[in-house]
Structure 1
């Protein structure tokens, strides 16, 4: 699915949702009670309705398979200027989690808006941070 964006000033990258759809995320055998295709369609629909406030793309395996489905919320250019880094969300398996991600991204995402409280409970460390902690 292709997403179109409203024209923005050069360098004004919006908040971007990177949705894992690799080996485990999006796999009905691993999480049979989740409408994986419906989730992805809902994210794309919300992005298109956001008038360029956030974008959605998919990626192959992002790494933390034990916490599938994973969505990475990347900050916008402005959020990054304010010091924000990508937020990794694990266990995004139900409509509530997807709606929380949409609401946060639509409000500006990392560095711009606070995430919904329930979503903060689903935040996981990026794989590189988890590997560094395991080596200690």
Structure 2
């Protein structure tokens, strides 16, 4: 290791991208036919940290996957990137590869993933 690069102390490894998969009322259910939801989640989990969420309120875009930036990406000002209609294995692989490459704020978004990006819903809070 070069002298100007300090080793990462144990327990202080960089925080990677995390992937959130919606698995509630529409996403991850038989309503989306022809998709092996369990296999999709398992494949993502094999490559990146995954959290399963309840409804993310964009049911018309099921299956929804959100890539949250790593610590490095957040430091660069990145925000989570939302993907909808992730209903084929190739899209799952493309998302996982991008997350492994660094994801939001670290790696450029591959052109193919532009087809799946969506604007997240605005959360309303009552006063």
Does the pair score TM above 0.5? Answer: yes
Structure 1: unaligned runs, 5 residues or longer: 1-6, 48-54, 132-136
5 Å-filtered alignment, 1:92-107, equals 92-107=86-101
5 Å-filtered alignment, 1:37-52, equals 37-47=38-48
Structure 2: unaligned runs, 5 residues or longer: 1-9
Report the count of equivalent residues. 115
> How many Å apart are 1:13 and its aligned residue?
2.3
Q: Which one of 14, 21, 24 corresponds to residue 22 of structure 1?
A: 24
Rounded to whole Å, the distance in 1 between the matches of 2:33 and 2:104 is 30
Runs of 4+ deviating beyond 2 Å: none
Q: TM-score, normalised by structure 2?
A: 0.85
Per the alignment, residue 75 of structure 1 pairs with 69
Q: Which has the larger radius of gyration?
A: 2
1:36 aligns with 2:37: yes
